[in-house]
Structure 1
């Protein structure tokens, strides 16, 4: 219902908008409305075209959906897959191995070992094991929110991105770390059969140096810092602008970041869908006019087609290193995408940008020639697609 209303707003706006000083016809369907959106807005672009686009009688003529998260799932364990695949492999291997050992300690039920493990990271006061697991994953990206920049915040344009992820991995794999850090690798070996936790000292030191200071002095086991276990905080309707996004995930789209139960994982396996679902229950208690379902109604999102959402003149453009890729048109779980004819390449355009992250085509430079080639050519592709649509519009109206 929420998404239905959002895309209905797009159609209504196109039909009724007025712009001071413009005397020409701007309203749909008498003008060629072309939408553009990235990420959640990309999904709404795709859903809008699917519902209000179509033939010459459609309200919306075309749309470009960039990294459109059009597929709803409950547990989105694929979030960390691009990091596993494309991240520095010595860093990735270190984190995978450390997380395996973290989970062994949790599974042991040894309260002393758990406290000691948390203390290595300077997080001994965090009461909830899932909060601890999410906190040490923050440099990679934790569920829903994180205080440092991650793989998702990488960008081809330094002015729009951050090198925090690369700095994190450089620190974790530092071969010249001082002895006081390398000795930490043995601090928990008694709980793993004498096997050291390679690069644990570097990892824990990064958390202490760069993650904990983001609390700005607030108690570590508080909602102002790393604890999420406060029902009153979540129920506060003024607590943040993230509340509307959380409502969307709680009711329709799901996509709760969770750990894979089998195989390598960069996020501890104690983090599963119940972690995020608890926030939904606390944030949106039953009221007179609203009731959040016990689990998101994914059909309200997927009814538009999921990663197969389609409409005439709906373009899909994604990045193959995007953490959200497997919710998008070019998902690894989707069929192989081909443009079989020149006509199909403009009626149902699709482009996968090699080496790109989350809606990287949304960023640009005033000096186009200074953009990296793979971005510049993505922009040129979008321009050709939209020009073709406009020529088709003009030809349709000339014949009318």
Structure 2
């Protein structure tokens, strides 16, 4: 495994354009040329603001009820005081002796993620099976859970993986949950299960490695446990699982773009820029890098998406001609280049950039844009980029020379690291050195071997090769650290609906539920560790937010329809 890490660090010939130069749109789409963070999918509930009825008939607060917890600003210096960390909670399925199931959506505002309290997700399936209580905890420096009033470099020094791990531990050890006997449910008195997806799937592993004996069991869905700087493999599951004709034509176009853009043929260069509606853009690496947006759409797919997803609309634009579908070899360069360009000019550019110009939306060199200097809170892109630049990398780039690539090789490491310096000029006076080796050394990465930790991954997940199911890594699946691999996408196994549609995803969920049942049967109370703080006072309900949710019937497993 150490050899693989060295190879990954050395193969920095092509590197991703990391541009966060546009905001996240209200519907969750990333606008512009932004590198995709891992991210867990949202869950739409029929009415998150309706009262909840527990299995014994007690009326409980709505899932959307928001609570506050006094979290330490700095776990290395508690004298700095606390900040208000938001969380959501229900004990709909709870019975005395059941587990406390803690989940965080990670690198995004957690408001609207109350679906993860319910059995529309794996969390709720586990609570229903084991008579547990569920919690959604907002991550520090996302949403409204901020230790500091802004996202300046001075503030972000408190934004580290270790502080996030310590948040989870401190919360479990000190929270007084808003439920009967909520001050008697700390990890010494009740079994806590840590659940996460994507980045927080990795955080689950990292927490159990770094702070053992707090969380009795863990579940990491698509957990990106290995920090990787040169993460060209992000596009490999896409290349291997997308329609073959689309893959062939995308490869042909990208190879042509790279060839022309590295030539001296100014006329041909301008023709390609004009073809994609980016004729006024200044930098060719920005233009070529922008085309990755169509590949990033794969990450939003789920087994329930079907052929109507945005990614498949893109492939249809390339591969359907006069009502005929291209063979596996595709239509070839000429048609694919023209069709891809027409799709961008007529539909896609406006979709990702709105009314912004291509240069403002997709260019990365204009540091006068407020994007680079906006330090206001609830700016998930800035908060995540800080972690990217300091501790995890995950730069999504073209494959090494000699390997088929769907993504341009024109962007290089300095291109990405320049953007770290543009966004955080005071943080990197001597250049950017992302500490991926330190992260993997501290938290074990692919080398994790710990009891009662379940990993669930998907074959079609673009993040698969940062998980324990990465190609060529061969992490063993054991009774104490099982690995479930289904034919899912990113975090598919967190969604009950995905298991209802895909038998391989459901098999992963069933395997995980069986493991949890076996492990939790062995739990026994333990003496509280010496020096652990006493529980805090009961958190205050701050609001019952009314959300504008799409109303859909919840699938058959939800709200008591499954076994009780």
TM-score (norm 2): 0.59
Residue aligned with 1:221, SS: helix
Q: The residue matched to 1:69 in structure 2 has which SS?
A: coil
Supply the distance in 2 between the matched residues of 1:137 and 1:376 (Cα, whole angstroms). 31
1:383 aligns with 2:510: no
Aligned twin of 2:115: none
1:21 and 2:179 correspond: yes
1:299 to 417, 437, 440: 437
Matched, 1:2 2:160: yes
The 5-angstrom pairing of residues 20-59 of structure 1 reads 20-23=178-181, 25-53=184-212, 58-59=213-214
The answer to whether 1:363 aligns with 2:458 is: no
Which position in structure 1 is the counterpart of 2:381? 242
Mean Cα displacement is larger for which, 120-129 or 368-377? 368-377
Task: Indicate yes or no: 2:292 matched with 1:152.
Answer: no
Given the alignment of the two structures, is residue 80 of structure 1 paired with residue 216 of structure 2, yes or no? no
Aligned counterpart for 2:356 among listed residues 218, 224, 233: 218
Counterpart residue number, 1:172:
318
- Does residue 478 of structure 2 align to residue 349 of structure 1? no
Alpha-carbon distance, 1:369 to partner: 8.3
| Corresponding position of 2:399 | 260
Distance of 1:196 and 1:393 partners within structure 2? 61
- Are 1:200 and 2:337 an aligned pair? yes
* Structure 1 match to 2:455: 316
Q: Please tell me whether residue 285 in structure 1 is matched to residue 425 in structure 2.
A: yes
SS in 1 for 2:455: strand
Q: Secondary structure at the match of 2:415?
A: helix
Looking at structure 2, the residues matched to 162 and 170 of structure 1 have their Cα atoms a distance apart, in angstroms, of 10
**Per-residue displacement from partner, 1:30-68 (whole Å, max 9, x unpaired)?**
321110000000111001111222xxxx12111001111
The alignment's C-alpha RMSD in Å is 2.5
Match of 1:228, SS state, is coil
Task: Indicate conservation of the 8 Å contact 1:326/1:333, yes or no.
Answer: no
- Aligned partner of 1:275 in structure 2 is 415
Cα deviation 1:80-123 (Å, max 9, x = unaligned): 11121111111110110111111111121322321121111111
SS in 1 for 2:384: helix
Matches within 5 A, 1:94-173: 94-141=249-296, 150-158=297-305, 163-173=309-319
Contact 1:46 1:310 in 2 (8 A): no
TM value normalised by structure 1: 0.83
SS in 2 for 1:351: strand
SS at match of 1:218: coil
Quickly say closer, same or farther: Cα 1:310–1:162, change in 2 above 3 A.
farther
Match of 1:62 among 197, 210, 217: 217
1:230 to 343, 355, 366: 366
In the other structure, the counterpart of 2:123 is none
Q: How far did 1:291 drift?
A: 6.8
Q: Which has the higher helix share?
A: 1
- In 2, the alpha carbon distance for the partners of 1:67 and 1:265 equals 23
Q: Distance in 2 between matches of 1:11 and 1:216?
A: 42
Contact 2:453 2:482 in 1 (8 A): yes
2:161 paired with 1:11 = no
Name which of structure 1's ranges 383-392 and 299-308 shifts more when overlaid on structure 2.
299-308
How far 1:293 moved relative to its partner? Answer: 5.6
1:292 CA displacement: 8.6
**Contact 2:246–2:318 (8 Å) recurs in 1:** yes
Change (3 A) 1:18 1:197: same
The 8 Å contact of residues 71 and 306 in structure 1, kept in 2 or not, is answered as yes
Which one is further off, 305-314 or 39-48?
Answer: 305-314
For each residue in 1:273-330, what CA deviation from the matched residue of structure 2 results, as whole angstroms up to 9, or x when unmatched?
333212211111116xx87961201133212111222211111111111111111011
For residues 208 and 34 of structure 1, the distance between their equivalents in structure 2, rounded to whole angstroms, comes to: 49
| SS of residue paired to 2:522 | helix
Deviates further, 36-45 or 258-267: 258-267
User: 1:333, 1:164 → 2: CA distance?
Assistant: 31
1:325 correspondence with 2:464 = yes
Is contact 2:229-2:434 (8 Å) kept? yes
The Cα shift of 1:374 comes to 2.1
- In structure 2, the partner of 1:91 is 246
> Per the alignment, do residues 291 and 23 of structure 1 end up closer, same or farther by CA in structure 2, a change over 3 Å counting?
farther
The aligned length equals 355
Distance 1:369 1:281 in 2: 43
SS at match of 2:321: coil
The runs of 5 or more residues in structure 1 that have no matched partner are 142-149, 179-194, 340-344
| Counterpart residue number, 1:145 | none
Separation in structure 2 between the aligned mates of residue 369 and residue 229 of structure 1, nearest angstrom? 44
Cα pair 1:33 1:61 within 8 Å, conserved: yes
SS of match in other structure, 2:194? strand
1:92 to 1:371, Cα distance in 2 relative to 1, 3 A: closer
CA distance in 1, matches of 2:510, 2:273: 50
CA contact (8 A) 2:388 2:394 kept: yes
> Where do 5+ consecutive residues of structure 2 fail to align?
1-158, 325-331, 527-564
